[in-house]
Structure 1
């Protein structure tokens, strides 16, 4: 599903509050001096390679959306400026957090001192810090997460032109885009089939993606715990170890060694892409061949699609790789 939503104006590329927006008198920004979205692209604050942030459009209608099973989508962002309505970015595969995820991510922010830093930056712009996470406006400080590499930036001067539907959008709502919606091209637009070119691709130097954090995301830890409970039942006599030589979970029985690599992405294709290389290295980049049979298991939150199953079957049958996939849901998804 594709959506478009408005974000508050900001002069720091949404890394910290700048009090630069001009808002109507009845908005959160006008009453508190900042918006929850002003840390949207604070890339040094990543957890396990994920950017946890807030979108007011997601805040509205969030519970009903989650109840309908809408856990992720593509979201186009625009903002209001004195020069007009400017397109900011398109984020692919953005995940809408449920209550458990939002609380766990915020607790992580507090442990690392990031939440206190947010409060200090609110003070810097003479904002009202009691509004942060206020249930009347936004009960969750963090309600989305995405990987920075999934951001497609619009050129800085991409404004809505005449007849653009975005000119009629006034509120901070998540508006569904129909298939016929015509949007400006991003700097790094992705297409289902990518054609080659004669020159190296242009790297945008205006925005920084940031480096991935070293810590695991809350979702990753929850999945590891859920997997552990399942494995204790399936392999009661086995040795189950976490993070041994960087492997998420290693199960050792009398006859085999099973390596599990956990990825919390909702897209199973991405889970396979991220996990397979690590599993192959864990299993076969050794000084001596393993004595026991080795099985490699990629662990994700969603079921495999027919295309995923076909791909996995090819790897196992044609290339003789002992690769498997296992679904482990978050407790809120069961």
Structure 2
């Protein structure tokens, strides 16, 4: 199912968001970041120097900063976003659409900062200095490892040759702030009556399934977050939801381990559900992981040990199973 669409405002830039043009400070009100600092966060949003080839899936990702996605509630999410701006004639225009924007977690930002932060910083700082713009705020962002907060695949980006106008009934017209606004607000209101009747016959079943899904998802996310904390406390670079892999961990030698988390009623089911995904991730990865680990919520039995050993023998892959129980990882089998 396609992600819900959102409108996100970006600063105005007549040169394609490659370098700052400092025009946005003329089009905005006096209390915005762009007006105060003479440049906006999104000035480099489509700059090719901020593209990175991912080691896991081999895709080219554009890194950048989008102010409406800086709120804590968006962190770790993937969103379908329409990028709109207020041009120098005060006209509201949608200039691009991204099918899937990943809002970076703190761990992801730190990893990218370690690898590419200096390169991004020097690009930005040189651009600002060439326009005699003060860089003290940029210096602070660099020190706090907050130069970028999103990434998206180039294949997911559609920059419109001719910017589109925003529908007259859109909530965007009532809120010019740098804030995420749902595109579905109007559609939901208009279709509410028709959808109400369709839902009547299956509400109870949806509610039951929904509760089960939410329970499993919460347990999954809890394990994922606790493992991230565990690994980072051990000095291991760990990132969640990297190209759909639950956790990608990198040791000091640069070796990768892919972790797939499953919440089931037995270790056997955890292994069965995770195996196909891990093999697919391994196949797509440009830099191959040295180990694939299934993390479940159930202790393994003797049959599970034989099962995982047979998988290793058949696939010739280093596949293992362990469980997260009482905030500890059991020994890998």
TM-score (norm 1): 0.54
Task: Tell me, yes or no, if structure 1 residue 17 matches structure 2 residue 20.
Answer: yes
Q: Could you tell me which residue of structure 1 aligns to residue 98 of structure 2?
A: 91
Identify which of structures 1 and 2 has the higher relative contact order when contacts are C-alpha pairs closer than 8 Å and 6+ apart. Answer: 1
Secondary structure at the counterpart of residue 104 of structure 1: helix
Secondary structure at the counterpart of residue 155 of structure 1: strand
Q: Could you tell me which residue of structure 2 aligns to residue 6 of structure 1?
A: 9
Task: Tell me, yes or no, if structure 1 residue 33 matches structure 2 residue 58.
Answer: no
For 2:173 and 2:293, locate their aligned partners in 1 and report how far apart those are by CA, in whole Å: 43
For 2:80 and 2:321, locate their aligned partners in 1 and report how far apart those are by CA, in whole Å: 26
TM-superposed deviation, 1:65: 3.7
For 2:97 and 2:147, locate their aligned partners in 1 and report how far apart those are by CA, in whole Å: 21
TM-superposed deviation, 1:57: 0.2
Task: Tell me, yes or no, if structure 1 residue 163 matches structure 2 residue 174.
Answer: no
**Is the 2:42–2:67 contact (alpha carbons within 8 Å) kept by the matching residues of 1?**
yes
TM-score (norm 2): 0.54
TM-superposed deviation, 1:167: 2.3
Q: RMSD of the alignment, in Å? A: 4.6
TM-superposed deviation, 1:272: 7.5
Long gaps (5+) in structure 2: 55-59, 189-236, 261-273, 296-313, 323-328
Q: After superposition, what is the alpha-carbon deviation per residue over 1:75-108, rounded to whole angstroms, capped at 9, x for unaligned?
A: 1110001161110111122111122222332332
Q: 1:7 to 1:32 in 2, by over 3 A?
A: same
**Is the 1:33–1:126 contact (alpha carbons within 8 Å) kept by the matching residues of 2?**
no
For 1:38 and 1:270, locate their aligned partners in 2 and report how far apart those are by CA, in whole Å: 38
Q: Could you tell me which residue of structure 2 aligns to residue 104 of structure 1?
A: 111
Secondary structure at the counterpart of residue 57 of structure 1: helix
**Is the 2:169–2:186 contact (alpha carbons within 8 Å) kept by the matching residues of 1?**
no
TM-superposed deviation, 1:276: 3.3
Q: 1:15 to 1:99 in 2, by over 3 A?
A: same
**Is the 1:58–1:96 contact (alpha carbons within 8 Å) kept by the matching residues of 2?**
yes
Q: 1:64 aligns with which of 65, 73, 81?
A: 73
Matches within 5 A, 1:233-244: none
Q: 1:117 aligns with which of 123, 136, 148?
A: 123
For 1:78 and 1:272, locate their aligned partners in 2 and report how far apart those are by CA, in whole Å: 39
Q: Could you tell me which residue of structure 1 aligns to residue 50 of structure 2?
A: 45
Q: Could you tell me which residue of structure 1 aligns to residue 229 of structure 2?
A: none
TM-superposed deviation, 1:127: 1.8
For 2:84 and 2:321, locate their aligned partners in 1 and report how far apart those are by CA, in whole Å: 38
